[in-house]
Structure 1
Protein backbone atom coordinates (compact mmCIF):
# COMPACT_ATOMS: atom_id res chain seq x y z
CA UNK A 1 0.00 0.00 0.00
CA UNK A 2 1.18 3.51 -0.77
CA UNK A 3 2.30 5.68 2.10
CA UNK A 4 0.02 8.42 3.34
CA UNK A 5 0.88 11.87 2.10
CA UNK A 6 1.07 15.04 4.11
CA UNK A 7 -0.87 17.14 1.63
CA UNK A 8 -4.04 18.69 2.97
CA UNK A 9 -5.44 18.19 -0.52
CA UNK A 10 -5.82 14.47 0.29
CA UNK A 11 -7.86 15.28 3.40
CA UNK A 12 -10.13 17.57 1.40
CA UNK A 13 -10.53 15.00 -1.36
CA UNK A 14 -11.35 12.32 1.22
CA UNK A 15 -14.06 14.52 2.78
CA UNK A 16 -15.61 15.29 -0.59
CA UNK A 17 -15.54 11.61 -1.61
CA UNK A 18 -17.31 10.68 1.64
CA UNK A 19 -19.95 13.33 0.95
CA UNK A 20 -20.55 11.87 -2.51
CA UNK A 21 -20.92 8.40 -0.99
CA UNK A 22 -23.27 9.68 1.70
CA UNK A 23 -25.51 11.14 -0.98
CA UNK A 24 -25.34 8.08 -3.27
CA UNK A 25 -27.72 5.10 -3.21
CA UNK A 26 -25.80 1.82 -3.10
CA UNK A 27 -22.22 1.42 -4.28
CA UNK A 28 -20.62 4.22 -6.24
CA UNK A 29 -17.94 3.31 -8.81
CA UNK A 30 -14.70 5.28 -8.52
CA UNK A 31 -15.04 6.55 -12.11
CA UNK A 32 -18.44 8.05 -11.37
CA UNK A 33 -17.16 9.54 -8.13
CA UNK A 34 -14.10 11.00 -9.89
CA UNK A 35 -16.36 12.58 -12.50
CA UNK A 36 -18.53 14.20 -9.81
CA UNK A 37 -15.44 15.48 -8.00
CA UNK A 38 -13.71 16.52 -11.23
CA UNK A 39 -10.74 14.40 -10.16
CA UNK A 40 -8.49 11.82 -11.79
CA UNK A 41 -9.69 8.26 -11.09
CA UNK A 42 -6.21 6.97 -10.20
CA UNK A 43 -5.63 9.76 -7.67
CA UNK A 44 -9.08 9.25 -6.15
CA UNK A 45 -8.56 5.49 -5.80
CA UNK A 46 -5.34 6.17 -3.88
CA UNK A 47 -7.28 8.38 -1.45
CA UNK A 48 -10.10 5.82 -1.19
CA UNK A 49 -7.58 3.09 -0.34
CA UNK A 50 -6.77 4.91 2.88
CA UNK A 51 -10.46 5.28 3.75
CA UNK A 52 -10.99 1.55 3.18
CA UNK A 53 -7.97 0.69 5.34
CA UNK A 54 -9.34 2.92 8.13
CA UNK A 55 -12.70 1.13 7.93
CA UNK A 56 -14.62 4.26 6.93
CA UNK A 57 -15.79 2.85 3.61
CA UNK A 58 -16.31 -0.55 2.00
CA UNK A 59 -14.99 -1.48 -1.43
CA UNK A 60 -16.26 -4.18 -3.74
CA UNK A 61 -14.33 -5.07 -6.87
CA UNK A 62 -15.77 -6.31 -10.10
CA UNK A 63 -18.60 -5.56 -12.45
CA UNK A 64 -21.05 -4.42 -9.77
CA UNK A 65 -18.28 -2.98 -7.62
CA UNK A 66 -17.81 0.38 -6.09
CA UNK A 67 -17.55 2.11 -2.74
CA UNK A 68 -20.02 2.70 0.07
CA UNK A 69 -19.92 4.16 3.56
CA UNK A 70 -19.12 1.68 6.31
CA UNK A 71 -21.09 3.76 8.85
CA UNK A 72 -23.93 6.25 8.85
CA UNK A 73 -22.68 9.83 8.23
CA UNK A 74 -23.45 10.88 11.81
CA UNK A 75 -21.08 8.16 13.06
CA UNK A 76 -18.06 9.29 11.01
CA UNK A 77 -16.10 12.09 12.65
CA UNK A 78 -13.88 14.39 10.67
CA UNK A 79 -11.08 13.41 13.06
CA UNK A 80 -11.36 9.83 11.79
CA UNK A 81 -10.96 11.07 8.23
CA UNK A 82 -8.00 13.20 9.26
CA UNK A 83 -6.33 10.25 10.98
CA UNK A 84 -6.91 8.05 7.92
CA UNK A 85 -5.16 10.57 5.65
CA UNK A 86 -2.31 12.00 7.65
CA UNK A 87 1.31 11.00 7.69
CA UNK A 88 2.42 14.11 9.55
CA UNK A 89 0.60 16.76 11.49
CA UNK A 90 -1.24 19.65 9.86
CA UNK A 91 0.38 21.98 12.36
CA UNK A 92 3.84 21.01 11.08
CA UNK A 93 3.08 22.98 7.94
CA UNK A 94 2.18 26.02 10.03
CA UNK A 95 5.11 25.79 12.44
CA UNK A 96 8.25 24.04 11.19
CA UNK A 97 10.73 23.75 14.06
CA UNK A 98 13.20 21.09 12.97
CA UNK A 99 16.62 22.47 12.15
CA UNK A 100 16.11 25.85 13.85
CA UNK A 101 19.65 26.01 15.23
CA UNK A 102 19.36 29.79 15.66
CA UNK A 103 17.11 29.28 18.72
CA UNK A 104 18.12 28.08 22.14
CA UNK A 105 17.07 24.54 23.05
CA UNK A 106 14.41 25.88 25.43
CA UNK A 107 12.91 28.09 22.70
CA UNK A 108 12.94 25.20 20.23
CA UNK A 109 11.27 23.03 22.87
CA UNK A 110 8.61 25.71 23.47
CA UNK A 111 7.95 25.89 19.71
CA UNK A 112 7.57 22.08 19.58
CA UNK A 113 5.13 22.20 22.47
CA UNK A 114 3.12 24.90 20.71
CA UNK A 115 3.01 22.83 17.52
CA UNK A 116 1.77 19.82 19.52
CA UNK A 117 -0.89 21.97 21.19
CA UNK A 118 -2.01 23.24 17.79
CA UNK A 119 -2.38 19.69 16.56
CA UNK A 120 -4.50 18.88 19.60
CA UNK A 121 -6.76 21.86 18.90
CA UNK A 122 -7.23 20.74 15.32
CA UNK A 123 -8.02 17.13 16.21
CA UNK A 124 -10.34 18.18 19.04
CA UNK A 125 -12.26 20.44 16.67
CA UNK A 126 -12.51 17.72 14.02
CA UNK A 127 -13.73 15.27 16.65
CA UNK A 128 -16.73 17.56 17.28
CA UNK A 129 -17.89 17.42 13.65
CA UNK A 130 -19.30 14.52 11.68
CA UNK A 131 -19.89 13.89 8.03
CA UNK A 132 -23.59 14.46 8.72
CA UNK A 133 -22.80 18.01 9.91
CA UNK A 134 -21.33 18.78 6.49
CA UNK A 135 -24.28 17.21 4.70
CA UNK A 136 -26.73 19.33 6.69
CA UNK A 137 -24.89 22.49 5.69
CA UNK A 138 -24.67 21.35 2.08
CA UNK A 139 -28.43 20.76 1.81
CA UNK A 140 -29.42 24.09 3.40
Structure 2
Protein backbone atom coordinates (compact mmCIF):
# COMPACT_ATOMS: atom_id res chain seq x y z
CA UNK A 1 0.00 0.00 0.00
CA UNK A 2 1.19 3.48 -0.72
CA UNK A 3 -0.38 6.79 0.13
CA UNK A 4 -1.60 8.90 -2.74
CA UNK A 5 -0.48 12.43 -3.56
CA UNK A 6 -3.96 13.49 -2.49
CA UNK A 7 -3.19 12.48 1.09
CA UNK A 8 -0.06 14.62 1.22
CA UNK A 9 -1.88 17.54 -0.39
CA UNK A 10 -4.60 17.07 2.21
CA UNK A 11 -2.03 17.39 4.98
CA UNK A 12 -0.65 20.51 3.28
CA UNK A 13 -4.09 22.10 3.06
CA UNK A 14 -5.00 21.52 6.69
CA UNK A 15 -1.56 22.61 7.95
CA UNK A 16 -1.86 25.88 6.06
CA UNK A 17 -5.39 26.44 7.36
CA UNK A 18 -4.42 25.54 10.93
CA UNK A 19 -1.77 28.26 10.92
CA UNK A 20 -4.19 31.02 9.90
CA UNK A 21 -4.98 33.72 12.44
CA UNK A 22 -8.43 33.30 13.96
CA UNK A 23 -11.38 34.23 11.73
CA UNK A 24 -9.25 34.34 8.57
CA UNK A 25 -9.68 32.19 5.49
CA UNK A 26 -7.49 31.16 2.62
CA UNK A 27 -8.58 30.87 -0.99
CA UNK A 28 -7.99 27.68 -2.94
CA UNK A 29 -5.93 29.57 -5.55
CA UNK A 30 -3.64 30.83 -2.80
CA UNK A 31 -3.11 27.35 -1.38
CA UNK A 32 -2.48 25.75 -4.75
CA UNK A 33 -0.01 28.50 -5.68
CA UNK A 34 1.92 28.14 -2.42
CA UNK A 35 1.92 24.34 -2.57
CA UNK A 36 2.67 24.41 -6.31
CA UNK A 37 -0.08 21.92 -7.12
CA UNK A 38 -2.91 21.85 -9.63
CA UNK A 39 -5.71 24.18 -8.61
CA UNK A 40 -8.43 21.91 -10.00
CA UNK A 41 -7.00 18.91 -8.10
CA UNK A 42 -6.78 20.93 -4.89
CA UNK A 43 -10.45 21.89 -5.30
CA UNK A 44 -11.39 18.20 -5.50
CA UNK A 45 -9.47 17.48 -2.30
CA UNK A 46 -10.98 20.52 -0.57
CA UNK A 47 -14.48 19.30 -1.46
CA UNK A 48 -13.73 15.91 0.09
CA UNK A 49 -12.39 17.58 3.23
CA UNK A 50 -15.44 19.82 3.42
CA UNK A 51 -17.78 16.84 2.95
CA UNK A 52 -15.92 15.06 5.76
CA UNK A 53 -16.41 18.04 8.08
CA UNK A 54 -12.69 18.78 8.36
CA UNK A 55 -12.73 22.18 6.67
CA UNK A 56 -15.34 24.85 6.10
CA UNK A 57 -15.77 27.25 3.22
CA UNK A 58 -17.38 30.62 2.82
CA UNK A 59 -18.38 31.92 -0.57
CA UNK A 60 -17.86 35.66 -0.69
CA UNK A 61 -15.37 38.16 -2.02
CA UNK A 62 -13.27 37.74 1.11
CA UNK A 63 -14.24 34.11 1.62
CA UNK A 64 -12.18 30.99 1.41
CA UNK A 65 -11.40 27.93 3.48
CA UNK A 66 -10.81 27.48 7.19
CA UNK A 67 -10.64 24.54 9.57
CA UNK A 68 -14.01 23.32 10.79
CA UNK A 69 -12.43 21.81 13.90
CA UNK A 70 -9.51 22.49 16.19
CA UNK A 71 -6.20 20.87 15.09
CA UNK A 72 -6.20 18.63 18.16
CA UNK A 73 -9.61 17.27 17.06
CA UNK A 74 -8.47 16.31 13.55
CA UNK A 75 -6.91 12.86 13.35
CA UNK A 76 -4.78 11.64 10.52
CA UNK A 77 -7.35 8.88 10.12
CA UNK A 78 -10.00 11.53 9.35
CA UNK A 79 -7.69 12.97 6.68
CA UNK A 80 -6.91 9.52 5.30
CA UNK A 81 -10.57 8.51 5.17
CA UNK A 82 -11.53 11.78 3.49
CA UNK A 83 -9.30 11.30 0.47
CA UNK A 84 -8.12 7.73 0.11
CA UNK A 85 -10.04 5.11 -1.84
CA UNK A 86 -11.59 3.28 1.09
CA UNK A 87 -10.48 -0.08 -0.27
CA UNK A 88 -9.37 -2.73 2.18
CA UNK A 89 -5.68 -3.65 2.18
CA UNK A 90 -6.62 -6.98 0.59
CA UNK A 91 -9.04 -5.51 -1.95
CA UNK A 92 -6.93 -6.70 -4.89
CA UNK A 93 -6.18 -10.16 -3.49
CA UNK A 94 -6.30 -12.67 -6.33
CA UNK A 95 -7.26 -16.17 -5.19
CA UNK A 96 -6.12 -17.53 -8.56
CA UNK A 97 -2.52 -17.00 -7.47
CA UNK A 98 -3.18 -19.12 -4.37
CA UNK A 99 -4.74 -21.79 -6.58
CA UNK A 100 -1.51 -21.94 -8.55
CA UNK A 101 0.83 -22.29 -5.57
CA UNK A 102 -1.10 -24.43 -3.08
CA UNK A 103 -1.82 -28.05 -3.92
CA UNK A 104 -5.22 -28.74 -2.40
CA UNK A 105 -8.47 -26.80 -2.10
CA UNK A 106 -8.13 -27.06 1.69
CA UNK A 107 -4.70 -25.38 1.60
CA UNK A 108 -5.91 -22.75 -0.86
CA UNK A 109 -8.78 -21.79 1.42
CA UNK A 110 -6.78 -22.04 4.67
CA UNK A 111 -3.79 -20.02 3.47
CA UNK A 112 -5.86 -17.47 1.56
CA UNK A 113 -7.97 -16.86 4.65
CA UNK A 114 -4.86 -16.57 6.81
CA UNK A 115 -3.37 -13.98 4.46
CA UNK A 116 -6.58 -11.97 4.49
CA UNK A 117 -6.63 -12.15 8.31
CA UNK A 118 -3.04 -10.86 8.45
CA UNK A 119 -3.85 -8.01 6.10
CA UNK A 120 -6.99 -7.12 8.09
CA UNK A 121 -4.91 -7.03 11.29
CA UNK A 122 -2.31 -4.81 9.62
CA UNK A 123 -4.99 -2.46 8.32
CA UNK A 124 -6.63 -2.24 11.74
CA UNK A 125 -3.29 -1.41 13.39
CA UNK A 126 -2.55 1.19 10.69
CA UNK A 127 -5.94 2.85 11.14
CA UNK A 128 -5.56 2.84 14.94
CA UNK A 129 -2.18 4.59 14.66
CA UNK A 130 -3.63 7.23 12.33
CA UNK A 131 -6.57 7.73 14.71
CA UNK A 132 -4.21 8.27 17.65
CA UNK A 133 -2.26 11.08 16.00
CA UNK A 134 -3.73 14.52 15.50
CA UNK A 135 -2.96 17.39 13.16
CA UNK A 136 -1.66 19.32 16.16
CA UNK A 137 1.19 16.76 16.44
CA UNK A 138 2.91 18.23 13.37
CA UNK A 139 2.07 21.93 13.68
CA UNK A 140 4.87 24.34 14.59
CA UNK A 141 4.56 26.05 17.95
CA UNK A 142 6.53 28.61 19.91
CA UNK A 143 8.52 27.99 23.11
CA UNK A 144 5.30 28.25 25.14
CA UNK A 145 3.59 25.61 23.02
CA UNK A 146 1.32 28.14 21.32
CA UNK A 147 0.56 27.45 17.67
CA UNK A 148 2.55 29.69 15.35
CA UNK A 149 0.20 31.67 13.14
CA UNK A 150 1.13 32.68 9.62
CA UNK A 151 -0.22 35.57 7.61
CA UNK A 152 -0.36 33.73 4.31
CA UNK A 153 -1.28 36.92 2.46
CA UNK A 154 2.15 38.39 3.28
CA UNK A 155 3.93 35.16 2.37
CA UNK A 156 2.05 34.86 -0.90
CA UNK A 157 2.75 38.50 -1.76
CA UNK A 158 6.47 37.85 -1.16
CA UNK A 159 6.27 34.70 -3.32
CA UNK A 160 4.83 36.69 -6.22
CA UNK A 161 7.84 39.06 -6.12
CA UNK A 162 10.24 36.23 -6.87
TM-score by length of 1: 0.83
Q: How many pairs were matched up?
A: 131
**CA–CA distance in structure 2, aligned partners of residues 7 and 43 of structure 1:** 16
Alignment counterpart, residue 10 of structure 2, candidates 14, 20, 37: 14
**CA–CA distance in structure 2, aligned partners of residues 136 and 128 of structure 1:** 19
Aligned to 1:74, the other structure's residue is in SS state helix
- Contact persistence 1:8–1:90 (CA under 8 A): no
- Contact persistence 2:89–2:123 (CA under 8 A): yes
Describe the superposition over 1:64-86 as per-residue Cα deviations: whole angstroms up to 9, x where unpaired.
22110001111111111111112
TM-score by length of 2: 0.73
Q: Which residue of 1 aligns with 2:84?
A: 86
- The alignment status of 1:125 with 2:144, answered yes or no, reads no
- Contact persistence 2:90–2:116 (CA under 8 A): no
Q: Which has the larger radius of gyration?
A: 2
Aligned to 1:24, the other structure's residue is in SS state coil
Gaps spanning 5+ residues in structure 2: where?
Answer: 103-107, 142-146, 148-162
- What is the alpha-carbon root mean square deviation over aligned residues? 2.2
